[in-house]
Amino acid sequence: MNSAESAVPERVAVTAEAAELIRRLREAHGPLMFHQSGGCCDGSAPMCYPAGEFRTGVSDVHLGDLIIDGVPEPVGFWMSGPQFEYWSHTHLTVDVVAGRGSGFSLEAPEGVRFLIRSRLLTDDELDRLRG
């Protein structure tokens, strides 16, 4: 087993298009964070904020950090714990589509919207995540 296989698998990734948008938002707004939303209207979509704008608490789970070229610090990705219980078997990829957005997410004025694409985690990934 090489080191890549033994490492803890990632839960969240980012597409090249979304990474480019995050780079631009980082330049305009400083360090960033994501919190996955649930519920109606613009829910079930990731919200991007200046880091610290949304105060995570004991009920939130840190799914991972997005490491993006040109962004000096990792971009944390969070979700509420109860929501994570229903999502924990899936791998998430932050993507971006044209759209009007809403909520207070930073990208909405750009005419685009972050979107989550999902796939099932493999049995092997789940085993290693459980450690």
Partner 1 sequence: MTTYTAPGTQGSVMDYRSRYDHFIGGEYVAPAKGGYFQNPTPVTGQTFTEVARGTSDDVERAIDAAWGAAPTWGRASYEERSGVLLAIADRMERNLEKLAVAESWENGKPVRECLAADIPLAIDHFRYFAGALRGQEGGISQIDQNTVAYHFQEPLGVVGQIIPWNFPILMATWKLAPALAAGNAVVLKPAEQTPASIHVLLETIADLLPTGVLNVVNGFGVEVGKPLASNPRINKVAFTGETTTGRLILQYASENIIPATVELGGKSPNIFFDDVAASRDAFYDKALEGFTMFALNQGEVCTCPSRALIQSGVYEDFLAEGVERTKSIKQGNPLDTETQLGAQASNDQLEKILSYIDIGKQEGAKILTGGERVEMEGDLAGGYYVQPTVFAGHNKQRIFQEEIFGPVVSVASFDDYDDAMKIANDTLYGLGAGVWSRDGNTAYRAGRDIQAGRVWVNNYHSYPAHAAFGGYKQSGIGRENHKMMLDHYQQTKNLLVSYSDSGPGLF
Interaction site with partner 1 (CB under 8 A): 35-45, 47, 49, 53-55, 80, 82-83, 86-87, 90, 97-106, 108-109, 111, 113, 115-120
Name which of 6 and 120 has its Cβ closer to partner 1: 120
Residue 128 C-beta: closest distance to partner 1, Å: 20
26-29: which pairs have CB atoms within 8 A and are 24 or more residues apart? Answer: 26/70, 26/71, 26/72, 26/75, 28/106, 29/106
Name which of 64 and 91 has its Cβ closer to partner 1: 91
Residue 35 C-beta: closest distance to partner 1, Å: 5
Cβ burial of 118 (10 Å; 0-12, 13-18, 19+) is: exposed
96-100: which pairs have CB atoms within 8 A and are 24 or more residues apart? Answer: 96/15, 96/17, 96/18, 96/21
Residue 41 C-beta: closest distance to partner 1, Å: 5
Angle at 121 between CA 105 and CA 125, to 5 degrees: 120
Residue 90 C-beta: closest distance to partner 1, Å: 7
Name which of 7 and 130 has its Cβ closer to partner 1: 130
Name which of 66 and 69 has its Cβ closer to partner 1: 66
